[in-house]
Amino acid sequence: MLIEEFLKNNAVRLADKPAVVCGDQQVTYQQLYADCVACAERHAEEGREPGTLVPLRATPTIDYLIEYFAIHLGGCIAVPLAKDLSDEEFSRYAVELQDAEVPEGTADILFTTGTTGKSKGVMISHDTIMADAENLIDAHKYSSDLTFIIAGPLNHCGCWSKVFPCIIQGATIILKDGIKNLDDLFLTLESATTKVATFMVPSSIKIAMEFGAERLAKLSDKIDFIETGGAPMAPKDLQRLCQLLPHSRLYNTYASTESGIVATYNFNEGECLHGCVGPAMKNSAISISPEGYILCSGRTLMTGYFNDLQTTEEILKDGVITMSDFGKLDEQGRLWLIGRNGDTINTGAYKVEPTEVENAAMEHPAIKDCICIATPHIVLGTALKLLYVPTDQATVTKREIALFLKSKLEGHKVPLAYEQVESINMTFNGKKDRKSYRS
């Protein structure tokens, strides 16, 4: 079945139930499907042919979801683009997509920016959408009496993938244009009439704990689960979240646009293991290459890169995708993240994963945030440098940080240089923006 068939069934089965809420607007499952059908019919009358690649801005609105599902109902391929894309850039994509051909069964093309900065269009099949949704439903226990808050970009895997299990199960989706302020987020959580769940990047979780710990703790019986991913959380942040939400399921998930959603781990189930992202989900499989790279296979994989057969063949071979991440599998089959190719810093004769240094530094009570970067060195060629943000009103010297890290790390992993900064550069999806420091 396609996702639109579940939407059609819910239009009868759950006709009057709220499907999507966005600000003061609300649409039932019956209304949502009727609007999607009407939209598809309108586009057909205007001459849109099946198989057309249709670009659209992924705005956090009900209209966007209607347009998206209507594209599929018309036998076309949806190409969700950033909501704030300029008209000039939108036109450039439209020209690139015009009259292009894609493999049969393609549902979407999601454009993502990789470590090289080159934008790549990831082709996603209808079967992949269903496989990702089944993985989430099975592992995270989505149900019809759930309200899921989506507050991130709807053209990226992290948030966009949550729409589909909600539609399949008949849950209610609340769309928000980012987390503008904590009060708005908490009011949304508190006012929901059912159990609630959401996806939050680590930086947003950290802000919620720092400025709203008391309100968050009061929601432990109401929050069914929180999923995070995309960037590692510091060990002390993982532990604190478990303490604040003892009755909630807290998931760390491994996923990418290319691989789909492949593994997840509930770190609030007795063992709060930093770096663990759990076993493979039902429609996925994981192994490790001889070089230490994570290998993913199963129904959740992309079809390939749009108009880029060469890059596709470099990472996708015989139904297996080679990820840019290094990892390991433990005796229980759980995946552990070790680092990312391109992030590793070569200093002297050693290779250092910056996240290991950062996690150790974050254990210091006077450090609020930090990033480990490479810096030129007259003898070593490259040395480690720690940029750090102190906690409010805290005073900590560079020597104190160095001595603290020496008690936690091997000698070659202790940075030689330190600099206090006001903030750490972050990407739009909550990751440390390492590329911005490489120049």
Distance separating alpha carbons of residues 148 and 162, to the nearest angstrom: 8
State the burial class of residue 155 (Cβ atoms within 10 Å of its Cβ: 0-12, 13-18, 19+). Answer: buried
Q: Which long-range contacts (CB under 8 A, 24 or more apart) does 312-316 make?
A: 315/258, 316/258
pLDDT per 10-residue tile (average), the chain, 439 residues: 96 98 96 98 96 97 98 98 91 93 96 66 98 98 97 91 98 91 91 94 87 94 93 85 97 96 96 93 97 96 96 95 94 91 80 88 92 89 93 89 93 94 84 83
CATH of domain 3-338: 3.40.50.12780
Model pLDDT, residue 439: 63
Model pLDDT, residue 60: 96
* DSSP class per residue in 327-379: EEE-TT--EEEEEETTT-EEETTEEE-HHHHHHHHTTSTTEEEEEEEEEEETT
Model pLDDT, residue 174: 97
> Where do the domains of the chain lie?
3-338, 345-437
Model pLDDT, residue 118: 63
Distance separating alpha carbons of residues 259 and 262, to the nearest angstrom: 7
Element (H, E) at 223: strand 223-229
Model pLDDT, residue 274: 87
Residues 6+ apart with CB under 8 A from 411: none
Distance separating alpha carbons of residues 318 and 301, to the nearest angstrom: 12
Which of 54, 61, 4, 58 minimizes the C-alpha distance to 34?
4
Quick check: helix, strand or coil at residue 106?
A: strand
Provide the residue type at 132 as one letter: D
CATH 3.30.300.30 fits domain 345-437: yes
Quick check: helix, strand or coil at residue 308?
A: coil
**Could you say which DSSP state residue 233 is in?**
P
Distance separating alpha carbons of residues 127 and 141, to the nearest angstrom: 20
Distance separating alpha carbons of residues 200 and 389, to the nearest angstrom: 22
Tokens of 245: 């939400």
Model pLDDT, residue 115: 42
Distance separating alpha carbons of residues 275 and 229, to the nearest angstrom: 11
**pTM score, two decimals?**
0.84
